Amino acid sequence: MKLENPYPDEAARRYRDAGYWTGQTFPDLLATAAREHGGRPAVVGRDVHRQRQRWTYAELDDRARRLAAGLAGLGVAPGDRVVVWLPNVPEYLEVIWGLFTLGALPVFALPAHRESEIRYFCEHAEAVAVVTVTRHDRHDHADAARRVAKDVASVREVLVVDEGLPTGEPATPSAPEPDDVAFLQLSGGTTGLPKLIPRTHDDYLYSVRASADICGLTPGTVFLAALPAAHNFTMSSPGLLGVMHAGGCVVTAPSPDPDTCLRLVADEGVTIAAVVPPLAAVWVAAAEKNSPELPTLEVLQVGGAKCGSELAARIGPALGATLQQVFGMAEGLVNYTRLDDPDDVVLHTQGRPISPDDELRVVDPDSPDDREVAPGEVGALLTRGPYTIRGYYRAPEHNATAFTADGFYRTGDLVRLDPGGNVVVTGRVKEQINRGGEKVAAEEVENHLMAHAAVLDAAVVGVPDEFLGERTHAYVLPRDPDEAPSPADLRRFVRDRGVAAYKVPDAVEVVTSFPATGVGKTSRRELRAALAQRHTEQRHREE
Ligand code: OOB
């Protein structure tokens, strides 16, 4: 499958000439790792049966090729899309490498997703199969996947890892073209329906290799996958792919809590881990209390949401590791503080881009022609570069506003650049709530609330939260104030529609009117702003 919105020829030529796009493909990455590091451990962790596994690169390669053959036997073909809905288990690597080896495209779902999201991914990507587990996080994933398969015509197979994966004689790896789409990644989302992100072999693997380099990965690297493996941060910044490129070892954490993870760091000799700020905070608190011996931990990467300076300052002393801030997005651009940066950069900025050819423009968010602000001023971040997409998958209408005419992606983030080119994230202009790194599209949740027969209108806003950074607050206008559903009813209603728990509003407030925000019909955007403002004022009054 090719990109619907390809990089212009001139840009593609430049990225190749500069040596960013090398023609390497996913099957090449695994074959190289198996050749160069065959006897070294690739992955360690508890499998779907809770048995501890330790697979070398040669074993992982063999498993991937056998699975590719098994999938082909079921009729899965190169170019087919397959939704991967798995927790952090060693088989996650077997499955994605099986798909890459076959030339099928993984569509990455999060373990927290539920039936409605999986259904949507299957429909939108016309997936032929879903790969999942029987049960995870007290939820019957396989049953949900089978219900989806019954309704979505394209889905022919539900593969349940703990029931056994199909196998065959090891297949010869597929030979995709480097500008083919390798997989579809999930976006944080700002609209009613999540968007899928098409990433090519050339563009993605450039970001992986360059990230591994920036983070100094070697065959001695032991990476703890604490956040969901499917998240772009865990996958490629430098993540499990960067580690595999370097010949290091991936340790899969069954849960991100400090008890589990700090023990794994000690037991497996973890050298680098990646977390969101609320997790960093609980790891730091646990380490401050118990002072565990973590002599191997060199780097703690924190990203996905803003890491405040106070938390940033506690990380080094508590964990004995270097903090690396990471500001990235599944659409492409990733920024890192460098491991040898001075403290003021590491503690107070979100780092600088991977590539010399990442173009960053900071523009006045109210300017219709994207006028750049003065250097050092805050503005909306636009970006273009050798691993940033030029369009979402099957979303022409959204693409018309999400990208500029000359191909810059509108990140929706408010930033300023320091004189060293480091990015400081100061806020957001997009209709999204960043709930401790988990992204919630306001409109998506509003749509779920408005599906309730007794709800006339809904507005979802982010409100400050000490632990999560932000949490969600839903204002709901009932059709009939005398028959208004209760907040508990509405939260249950949203949950029962089969959506990820992190999208269920943290608080619901039933109101009799929305605040007037001007004349005529209010835009939802103004409404959200007014409600967020009202919420802040209320808090101030309470304090
Ligand atoms: C990562 O990717 P996504 O796609 O889940 O979310 C991207 C958005 C950014 O546009 C920004 O709004 C926010 O998440 N964000 C941060 C941040 N890192 C991400 N906001 C403030 N400070 C940070 N350090 O979240 C992601 C992808 C790759 C690497 C790291 C994070």
The one-digit pLDDT tens for each residue of the chain (543 residues) are 999 999 999 999 999 999 999 999 999 999 999 999 999 999 999 999 999 999 999 999 999 999 999 999 999 999 999 999 999 999 999 999 999 999 999 999 999 999 999 999 999 999 999 999 999 999 999 999 999 999 999 999 999 999 999 999 999 999 999 999 999 999 988 988 999 999 999 999 999 999 999 999 999 999 999 999 999 999 999 999 999 999 999 999 999 999 999 999 999 999 999 999 999 999 999 999 999 999 999 999 999 999 999 999 999 999 999 999 999 999 999 999 999 999 999 999 999 999 999 999 999 999 999 999 999 999 999 999 999 999 999 999 999 999 999 999 999 999 999 999 999 999 999 999 999 999 999 999 999 999 999 999 999 999 999 999 999 999 999 999 999 999 999 999 999 999 999 999 999 999 988 876 555 556 677 777 777 787 778 777 876
Provide the ipTM: 1.00
Best residue for ligand 1 mutational test, from 275, 327, 333, 383 (most atoms within 8 Å of Cβ): 327
Q: Count the alpha carbons within 13 Å of 386 in the hemisphere toward its beta carbon.
A: 25
Can you tell me which atom of ligand 1 is nearest the CA of 325? 24
- What angle, rounded to 10 degrees, do the helices at 115-125 and 141-151 form? 40
Between the CA of 305 and the centroid of ligand 1 the distance, in Å, is 6
Residue pair 192/444 in contact by the 8 Å Cβ criterion: yes
Please give the sequence-ordered ranges of beta strands (E in DSSP) within 332-398, or none if there are none.
Answer: 332-336, 352-353, 359-363, 379-384
Best probe residue, ligand 1, of 197, 329, 354 (max atoms within 8 Å of C-beta): 329
Residue with the smallest CA separation from ligand 1 atom 9 is 329
Residue 314: both structure tokens together: 């506690």
Contact in structure between 511 and 477 (CB atoms under 8 Å):
yes
Q: How far is CA 5 from CA 151, 331, 400, in A?
A: 30, 13, 11
Report how far ligand 1's centroid is from the alpha carbon of 324 (Å): 14
H runs (alpha helix) in 103-155: 115-125, 141-151
Count of CB atoms situated within 10 Å of the CB of 194: 21
Strand partners of residue 82: 106, 129
Which residues, judged by CB distance below 6 Å to any ligand atom, belong to the binding site of ligand 1? 187-188, 232-233, 237, 303-306, 325-330, 334, 350, 411, 413, 425, 428, 434, 439
Nearest to 272 by CA among 312, 232, 223: 223
518 exposure class (CB count in 10 Å sphere: 0-12, 13-18, 19+): exposed
Count the helices and strands in the chain (H runs, E runs).
Answer: 17, 24
Six-digit token string for 337: 């503080």
At position 260, the amino acid (one-letter code) is: T
pLDDT of residue 534: 79
- Residue 391 CB partners (closer than 8 Å, separation 6+): 3, 4, 5, 399, 402, 403
Per DSSP, the three-state class of 177 is coil
What's the pLDDT score for residue 64? 98
Task: List all residues 6 or more positions away from 8 whose beta carbon is below 8 Å from its beta carbon.
Answer: 407
b/e for 208-240, b at 16 or more Cβ within 10 A? bbbbbebbbbeeebbbbbbbbbbbbbbbbbbbb
**Tally of CB atoms within 10 A around 43:** 27
Centre of ligand 1 to C-alpha 335, Å, is 10
Which atom of ligand 1 sits closest to the CA of residue 331? 4
Using alpha carbons, select from 418, 421, 465 the residue that is nearest to residue 440.
Answer: 465
Strand runs labelled E in 147-237: 157-160, 181-186, 196-200, 222-225
Neighbours of 187 (CB within 10 A): 24
What kind and span of H or E run contains 92? Answer: helix 90-102
